[in-house]
Every structure is written in C-alpha cells, then in structure tokens.
Structure 1
C-alpha cells in the first residue's frame, strides 16, 4: 500500500541494478482517483519494500492530465520508463505514448522527443482517445511495444510497435483483437513466453460473463497460444479468467534475477466504493503478493513466490481433526498478518465450510462442494459493504477446482484488509474486506465427515 493517497495499476515492474522496482498509478493528494503520477517502491527480495519519491508527475503539455500506466526496460545500464501521456481538451481525451530515462532508477528525465508514439503513428489502427498502457519487451535484436486500444465498434485491440533503439517506433502489427463478448476496451497488455507457450495477459472492461468467469464488471484474461513474429500476430489456443475473486486487475509481470516470471496485480476493482476513503483513512488500493507464473495444461497457474516461505514463522500446527455438522472452532488464531495452510480429506462428505477471521457477526466464508467440484469465497457477512456497478450485487464467487486424491489443499495469505487464496495449486481468489468487528477465530463444519490432515498457521516475519 502507498503511505498515503490512491493507487491503482502496477507499472514498470522490473529488476534493475540488483533490485526490484515497482512503480504504480498514484494520486498522492487524496484517497480517490485524480491526475495520475507514478509512485515508486523498490525491494531486494520482493517482500520488504522501500518507498521512494514519486518518479513521474503530470507536468508537460503531452501528459498534463496524467502519467498513465506503462512499463520499464533496461538498456545499456539505463532504465527506460514508457507511459501514456493523458490529456483532456474540452472534455475530449487524447492519449499518446511517452518515455522517461534514468541512470540510477530513481530520478527520471522525460524525453525531448515525447510523445514517441502519437496520432500519426497510430493512424487508423486504433482510437487515439483510448490508446494506452505500453508494455515493452525485447525479442531477438529488436524491441517491441504492445499497446491497448479499441476499434471503432468498441472491441478490444492490442497493437504492436517495433524499435531498434527504444527511441524511434514504427507500427508493426495488430497483435490480437477481441469480439463483442470480450469487453468494450482492453487495458494493460503484457506479452511473454513461458513453458513453451506465448502468453498475452490483458484486462477487459465490461467483459460479458461466461458461466463462473468474468463476473466482475471488469476482469483479467490470459490468452495462451503461439506467436508469429514474422507477422506480429498471436494465434490464441486457449483463454481464461486469471483470478476468481473480487479484487484483481491490471497485472504486470517481470523476469526476475532467478529467471522466474513474476506477476503483481492491483488488489482492487473499478466502479466499487472504497471503505478506506469513505472512513477518512487517507489511503485506497493495494498490490497483491508477487506470484510466480507457469503454464499447465493450457492454463496460466499462479503460486506465491518461494521467497515468502523463508520468511514464514510457523505458530501453530494441528493434525487429523475430524469435522462433522457441529462446528470445530479455534479461537484467536487469525491475526492481521496470517498465513494458513490446510489439507482436508473430503472423500466422505459432500460439502465443507471454513469461517475465517470469524467474530460474532462477521467473517469470510470459504466452502467446497464436492458434488460440483466448486470452491467459493463469500464476503457477504464481512464488515463494511462493498458494492459496484455489476447488474447484481457481487460478494460471492465460485471457481471449479477438482480435488487432488480427494483432498482440498488451501493456502491463504491474509493481510489486514485482504485475503489471497491459492486452491489446489490451480486457481486463485483475491478479495479485500474491511472489518467492523475484529474477527480472530476460525471455524470448520462439514455436511458429513471431513478430516483435516494438516492445519498450519503462521505469519510473515516483518522487521521493526
């Protein structure tokens, strides 16, 4: 979380000069969205972060109303930030792609040639009023930029530009275009190669619901396939929603020092009320834990970066707990900083439920239905109500996840106002919640008999 103010999309996530740098969309003067700056933090281990001065502020004619999202790349010992210059003239938005360069990763100078991609470079390939979020990558000897825009009929479109030096850019291709069911605009594209597949992740606005997928008004989608670098087109073989919670948007990845593909997302959602703003806490928005990505059976799989396990302090451990219709409750185990690992045998029951951070009247509810293989997360009875622009109130979501040898394996990272849930190594659910009553209990109940084989509770060690 930022020390104060509003944050949204992660920007410029990069490993540079021995440290991870994470920039983010930031309005430092209020806990609601305003003219965007680039906030900045750095870390040596992805766990302990140091706040740095604002890296970019809207102070030029081409970015006077906001330095919107973008990315970072290193070249010849310099750090290049690419971002969208946002300008509003007489109520009409114009967006172009801009560049700032740094020798130390902290102080940045905007290019005298900004914008490096403007309406002339865009031509009729997209909409200059919705043209944003450049992600720059290197392939072979060239640099490529993927940028989000849309068609004249409001379909998402990702464009690709090419450069030899990061300074001069030429249009290369339409990388991918969506259809009417896939949202009115795509945002925050990121293209990378992983485990033999080419992967494009993006964030569709107002994507149409499809079964259990895409129930938030805006969402994230992973498109997996094969890239044709000669034509600049991605042939998509499979695509799916990336996270089945309520608060996961605009993910961005980097290749880290260990050659891992690591991702961070904004842990919030557009068009929702923000209790921290409404309560006068002077901050809004946060980032997910860094997650390592892999491709498995045509799906993009997420897991916590392994570095976290070295920082875990295990506090309690239990084994072979039998759970039936009468709740089994453990008191005062769930704190603001809690790690939970749970392995449950569900071979003898149709349903299993966990009441997490439970108080007298509140709590997050996780449940598994063995008849449908669906895991659900509910924040319906957890603190301040969070509402959005979805057609129906949305505070419970489900995801289909098969058991492993009749077992449910859960990892939960709980911070003060968020939970990140990893389910059988196959799916994730990310959610914020803002308690009214402090809840520290955890309770288990099953329709028949479930056996908790192992139940561990710990916390991430935090230096004073």
Structure 2
C-alpha cells in the first residue's frame, strides 16, 4: 500500500481436496460435514466476467480487483493467503482482506473475508500487513488501518487481529480487539506509514518494520514489543535511503549462507545473512539488498557489494510488485509471491470484469551466486520450487532476476 498457483473452482476442486477439505457446503455436489466453508460473493454470478486472457495457473479470484498478497502463512495443515480485494468491482477501492486456503499452493478455495473496514481505526481502509506465529502456534495479523482525524486525512495506524477460534484450521473468523490501534505515527508522515512486516524475536523483544518516507527518502522504522501489544519505536531507523521515495510493503528475512533450507524469520547465527526488500512507489518494482543485521543497534546494513535503491537488484524485471514471503515450517523453505497489475487500462479492466493476478510462488534459495561480470556482486537465487517443471533457461539468467530452476509444489 510469484509461484505457480492455479485457482480452481467448483467440481474439479472438490475432487482434489475432498480428502482434506471435509467441510464443503455441498453447493457444487461436495460432501456435507459439521463445519461449513462459507463461499464469498466473488464466486457467484460470474457470467458477466470475460475469460479472455485469464490465466490457468496464477492465483486470481473469479472477478473484480486484486492487489497485494497479505499475511501468507502455514497453519494446521493449510496454506493461508490473504489479499487486498475489491468485492464491488474491477478497480481499486472498497478494499477488504479476502482469504483463501490451500493444501498445495496450487488449488485454492476462497473463504469469507477475514478483515473488513468496520472500526474507527480502520473505517477508511484495511491495507496491507503480515502474519506472525506466536508461541503456542498462535497466529496474529498486524495490518495498516486508515483512520480519519481532523486535519489528517489518510491517517495511517497499525492494528492487530486474532483468530476467533484457534482450533479452526481454516481460521475463518478474525477479531479486531478494541485496544487498537497498537502503533500510531509520532513525528512521522501520517499518510505514508504502512505495511508492517512479519515480526521476529530476539533479545527479549518482538520486532517489526514499517515502511515510510520523508520527502523522497525511503525509511523503514523498527518497533519493539515484549507482549506484542505495546510497541516502542527505535531511536534510529532500521534502514533508510535517499532519492527512492516511499518504501511500500517492506520485507525482511534471514537466509543461510551455507545451507539450502529456508529459515524462520527469527533465525540468527554466524552463517546467516539477511535480505531487505522494499517496493518502490516511484518505480512500481521490488528491490532488495543482502546484508547484515546489527542485533545490538537494531539496524540493517547492506553489504558493500549489494547496491541499494532503484539501481540495485530486483526480484523480477517484469510487472511484479508488493511481494511477500513466509517461512514454510513443514518443507523448511521460504516462499515468495507478488502481485502483477498487468498492462490493461482501467476501462479495459472494468469491461472484462477483473483486474490483477498473483505470480507463481517462488522459494528463496539461500545458495548465493557471484556475478563476475558485475564486480563480484552477490545475489541469492530465487526459484520455482524444485523437480517438476522448468520455467526458463540458465542461459537467460540475469544478475537481477533468477527463476531458472524447476518447480514442484507437490513435494
């Protein structure tokens, strides 16, 4: 404010997921069970949606507008994906947190909306955010709410939401406690203060980063908390860079410099490097650096060989924005997905009845590569998950965008 995913609806989906999703409502011939899955409005009345140019494998709802992926996570046997969605049309507006679940990152079923504008702290918008799994396997979402204050239109605050029932593997209902917001802007740009990251834990505190700007300087503010409710801003920014504009949808995560497995967001150690990603509002692309994390000062420092800002490394050189990663604890990998707004005009989107897709999910391989042509600049490999299909050719690799390995989302 990509990953081969196939959105399948109706009977084929029921056949595939019947062994696991045992609580369909029977509307499409599926089995009845004690727990009903409530389908949402974007699965119905689809005759007006034009199917030309729709994808076969990418994640997208049947109609209307979709943008940022939010709070992807794994919980009790299911992958959860939340996303910015307009239930009323194929243009940006009326944004809610839509919610879908999957057992394989390919076949998805939509549930009822998880977070919708309803409280003073998010009445004018429920924008992007992230999920953190707290001790006891308890997920919590922190997201940006758009509130309204006198003389401060577009006032952005950070709120949290928790499941109404932790025993529900589908996490169908979410509660926004009344003690929100938990983070407010203080001496910051109140209309550019958004998109909190997944939190990590060290030195007795939970920590997260929020994107912002001061004129054309991109800023990532770090906040600390002992209880996940009371948050305090660090004295100095976590990271900052001039002449880049707003840092939207920041992401921060560790990668192993020796192993190939993904790492939990709270992982630390001598063999750990760190990736900081920002989505630049000025260019509408995602850029990242590799560096170190000073645990004492709570600051991120890009390596000398890792160019910062819009001249640096990009996740993808196509239409790719607002990406988000999460750690898959079952397969020990870090999965990344992002949003593509495509190239159609707003009027064309309205005419066809849908807009936007999510790109194929990648895993972030921690095997670092060195590009001798570019002064030994290092980058980490992002690839489609291994051993099934090949999406590209190693001969076409660039130092900026690597997705040349194979994909296997079933293993």
User: TM (normalized to structure 1)?
Assistant: 0.62
Unaligned runs of 5+ in 2: 1-59, 257-271, 370-377
Identify the residue that residue 146 of structure 1 maps to in structure 2: 209
Quick one: structure 1 residues 191 and 422, their matched pair in 2 at CA, closer, same or farther if it must change by over 3 Å? closer
Q: Secondary structure at 1:128's aligned position in 2?
A: coil
1:42 aligned to 75, 79, 101, which one? 101
Identify the residue that residue 20 of structure 1 maps to in structure 2: 79
1:249 aligned to 321, 338, 347, which one? 321
Identify the residue that residue 80 of structure 1 maps to in structure 2: 140
Tell me, in whole angstroms, the C-alpha distance in 1 between the residues paired with 2:230 and 2:152: 30
Tell me, in whole angstroms, the C-alpha distance in 1 between the residues paired with 2:336 and 2:409: 19
Quick one: structure 1 residues 282 and 88, their matched pair in 2 at CA, closer, same or farther if it must change by over 3 Å? farther
Unaligned runs of 5+ in 1: 207-216, 313-338, 345-374, 376-398, 403-420, 426-455
Measured after TM superposition, the shift of residue 92 of structure 1 is 2.2
- CA offset digits 1:167-190 (Å, max 9, x no partner): 11111241101111xx22110011
Quick one: structure 1 residues 49 and 276, their matched pair in 2 at CA, closer, same or farther if it must change by over 3 Å? farther
1:205 aligned to 243, 268, 281, which one? 281
Indicate if the aligned counterparts of 1:67 and 1:85 stay in contact, CA closer than 8 A: yes
Quick one: structure 1 residues 259 and 342, their matched pair in 2 at CA, closer, same or farther if it must change by over 3 Å? closer
1:99 aligned to 141, 150, 160, which one? 160
Please tell me the root mean square deviation across aligned C-alpha atoms, in Å.
2.8
Q: Secondary structure at 1:174's aligned position in 2?
A: coil
1:268 aligned to 337, 341, 344, which one? 341
Measured after TM superposition, the shift of residue 202 of structure 1 is 1.1
Greater gyration radius: 1
Indicate if the aligned counterparts of 2:106 and 2:409 stay in contact, CA closer than 8 A: no
Indicate if the aligned counterparts of 1:276 and 1:283 stay in contact, CA closer than 8 A: no
1:109 aligned to 154, 175, 179, which one? 175
Higher strand content, 1 or 2: 1
Tell me, in whole angstroms, the C-alpha distance in 1 between the residues paired with 2:212 and 2:77: 34
Identify the residue that residue 269 of structure 2 maps to in structure 1: none
**5 Å matches for 1:360-371?**
none
Measured after TM superposition, the shift of residue 51 of structure 1 is 1.1
Quick one: structure 1 residues 178 and 118, their matched pair in 2 at CA, closer, same or farther if it must change by over 3 Å? same
Tell me, in whole angstroms, the C-alpha distance in 1 between the residues paired with 2:107 and 2:365: 24
Tell me, in whole angstroms, the C-alpha distance in 2 between the residues paired with 1:12 and 1:258: 18
Indicate if the aligned counterparts of 1:219 and 1:241 stay in contact, CA closer than 8 A: no
- CA offset digits 1:60-117 (Å, max 9, x no partner): 1111111000001122233211100013567821100001100232210001111000
User: TM (normalized to structure 2)?
Assistant: 0.69
**5 Å matches for 1:311-330?**
none
Indicate if the aligned counterparts of 1:21 and 1:42 stay in contact, CA closer than 8 A: yes
Tell me, in whole angstroms, the C-alpha distance in 1 between the residues paired with 2:141 and 2:348: 30
Indicate if the aligned counterparts of 1:100 and 1:108 stay in contact, CA closer than 8 A: yes
Indicate if the aligned counterparts of 2:289 and 2:313 stay in contact, CA closer than 8 A: no
Quick one: structure 1 residues 401 and 300, their matched pair in 2 at CA, closer, same or farther if it must change by over 3 Å? closer
Tell me, in whole angstroms, the C-alpha distance in 1 between the residues paired with 2:402 and 2:298: 34
Tell me, in whole angstroms, the C-alpha distance in 2 between the residues paired with 1:343 and 1:74: 36
Q: Secondary structure at 1:167's aligned position in 2?
A: coil
Quick one: structure 1 residues 231 and 107, their matched pair in 2 at CA, closer, same or farther if it must change by over 3 Å? same
1:232 paired with 2:311, answer no
Identify the residue that residue 292 of structure 1 maps to in structure 2: 363
Quick one: structure 1 residues 231 and 74, their matched pair in 2 at CA, closer, same or farther if it must change by over 3 Å? same
More displaced, 159-168 or 90-99?
90-99
2:123 aligned to 57, 64, 83, which one? 64
Identify the residue that residue 254 of structure 2 maps to in structure 1: 193
Indicate if the aligned counterparts of 1:294 and 1:301 stay in contact, CA closer than 8 A: yes
